[in-house]
Amino acid sequence: MEQYTTYCYKFNFYNSKWAAVHAAHLDGLNAEEIYANIDTYLGGTKSFFGNLNTTIEPTDSWDTMLKDRAQYLRDTLPSINLCFSGGHDSYFMLKTFLDNNIPIDRIIIERYIPQIDPELNYEQTNVALKLLKLLDIGKAEVIVSDWNDISTWVDFALNENTYFESGLQLFPNLGDVAYRLTSERNVKGEPMIRGSVHPRVYYKDGHWRSHMWDSDNWGGAYTNPNFIPFYTDSRFPKIHLKQLHLTKNYLEKYNNRNITEREDNIEYKHCYVNAVRSATPEVIFNTPFQMMSLDDDSSHSLFKNLYQHMTKKKEKFFLTMAKERKNDFEKLYNIFNTKLGGLPMMFHKSFLRIYDVPLD
C-alpha cells in the first residue's frame, strides 16, 4: 500500500513537501510562488470530497456509517491492526469494532523513549493499557511496542535526507520513527489503522465552514506506507462529512458559534467529543497531554520560530533533549535552517491547505 500523504508539483509526485518545494525552487519559483503550485494529495486524490455537496449532511446515521466503515476494512484488509493511543479518536474507533463484533487482529500501543522522560508515555500506560483491561477485546493480540533507544530516533531526525525523501516533519512527532519500526517489526508491513482525524469546523460571516491542512495529522505516520485513517479517508469522504455536520449541529444547538479550536481548545474538544465521540471515558480528559495547544506562558524561546509545530508533548520532549543532548538538538535546529530558495525551512509556509469548504 502506498503512503497516504503525497505532494504534487507539475504533475510529478513527491514523498514529502520539502522534495516538492526543492523541485519548484530549481524551476526558479520564489517562496510565495512555490506554495501556489504544490498540491497535497490524500489517498491519491487532490479533491478530498470529490463531487459531494459539502452543505448537505449525509442521511445515514453516524452509527451505521461507522459500522459500515469498520466492516469494509475487515472485509478488504488482510488483518485489522488498530493503533491505540488512549485518546478520544482511537478509543472510539476501537469501540466501533468491539461494539459491532467485528474481529480485531492486533491492538498496537506505541511507547516512546522512556529514558528521556517516562511521563511522555503517560497516556499509553495509564489510560490505554488500563482501558483495555475493562474491555472484551476477544482474541485480539495486544502489542506494546516499546521503543527505548533514542539513538534510532536521532539517526532519522538528524538525517536531512529523511525530510526530503520520507516526509519527516519539522520537530518530528515522537511516533514518526516508532510507526516505521512497528510496521516492520510487529505487523510485517500489513496496513495499520489510525483514529484520525477529528472534525474542524468554524463559524465566519454568518456561515459554518470546515478547513483542513496538511499539518492535521497528515505528516509523520501518513508519509509512511501502509497507514489508513479511520474517520477521514478521502476514499470514503461521507464519513468525515458526517462528523463535520454533527459537530456543526452540536455547536449550533448549544449556541457555541464563537468557540474556535484555536482559541478555545478545551471547550471545542468537549463539543466535538459530545457530538461524535460519545461515551468516551472521563479518564481520557484527565491526562497531562490531552490538550494539544500550548499555554501562552509555556512556549520556550527555542521554539519561537516553530511554535506552530509544537504540542505539549513535543515541547516537553524537545526541551529535555535541548538540555540533556544539547549537541543533537543543535544539529536538529541546523537542519531547520537549511535554505530552500534562500529561505530557511523553518520560515517556509508551515502548512498547506487541503480544503476550506462551506457546511451550510
Residue-wise pLDDT tens digits, 37-61: 999 999 999 999 999 999 999 999 9
Give the best-scoring range by mean pLDDT among 218-232, 314-328, 343-357.
Answer: 218-232
DSSP state of 106: E
Q: What cell does 248 get?
A: 456543526
14, HSE (Cβ side, Cα atoms, 13 Å)? 22
**Residue 351 and residue 214 in contact, taking contact as beta carbons nearer than 8 Å:** yes
Residue-wise pLDDT tens digits, 198-219: 999 999 999 999 999 987 778 7
332, HSE (Cβ side, Cα atoms, 13 Å)? 22
**Residue 220 and residue 314 in contact, taking contact as beta carbons nearer than 8 Å:** no
pLDDT recorded at residue 297: 43
Mean pLDDT of 210-230: 87
pLDDT recorded at residue 56: 98
pLDDT recorded at residue 30: 82
The pLDDT confidence band at residue 81, using thresholds 50, 70 and 90, is: very high
- Sign (positive/negative) of CA torsion 261, 266, 267, 270? positive
Q: CA nearest 197: which of 218, 227, 174, 225?
A: 218
The pLDDT confidence band at residue 122, using thresholds 50, 70 and 90, is: confident
Residue-wise pLDDT tens digits, 170-203: 777 777 777 777 777 778 789 999 998 899 999 9
pLDDT recorded at residue 296: 45
Does position 9 have pLDDT exceeding 90, yes or no?
yes
Give every CB contact of residue 2 below 8 A, 6+ residues apart in sequence: 44, 225
Mean pLDDT of 85-105: 95
Residue-wise pLDDT tens digits, 240-270: 999 999 999 999 999 889 998 878 888 898 8
pLDDT recorded at residue 293: 47
pLDDT recorded at residue 72: 98
The pLDDT confidence band at residue 115, using thresholds 50, 70 and 90, is: low
Mean pLDDT of 115-137: 86
350 sits in the region (left: phi over 0; alpha: psi -120 to 50; else beta) called alpha
**Which of 253 and 117 is assigned the larger pLDDT?**
253
Share of the chain above pLDDT 70, in %: 91
| Centroid of chain to Cα 308 | 15
pLDDT recorded at residue 300: 57
Cα angle, residue 142 at apex, residues 108 and 151 outer, rounded to 5°: 50
Q: CA nearest 287: which of 90, 113, 121, 83?
A: 121
Does position 336 have pLDDT exceeding 50, yes or no?
yes
pLDDT recorded at residue 82: 97
The pLDDT confidence band at residue 294, using thresholds 50, 70 and 90, is: very low
pLDDT recorded at residue 2: 85
Average pLDDT of the chain, as a whole number: 87
Give the best-scoring range by mean pLDDT among 35-39, 103-107, 327-331.
Answer: 103-107
The pLDDT confidence band at residue 304, using thresholds 50, 70 and 90, is: low
pLDDT recorded at residue 298: 46
Does position 110 have pLDDT exceeding 90, yes or no?
no
The predicted model scores a pTM of 0.91
pLDDT recorded at residue 119: 79
**Residue 269 and residue 275 in contact, taking contact as beta carbons nearer than 8 Å:** no
Mean pLDDT of 296-322: 67
CA gap 27, 23 in Å, rounded: 7
Share of the chain above pLDDT 90, in %: 48
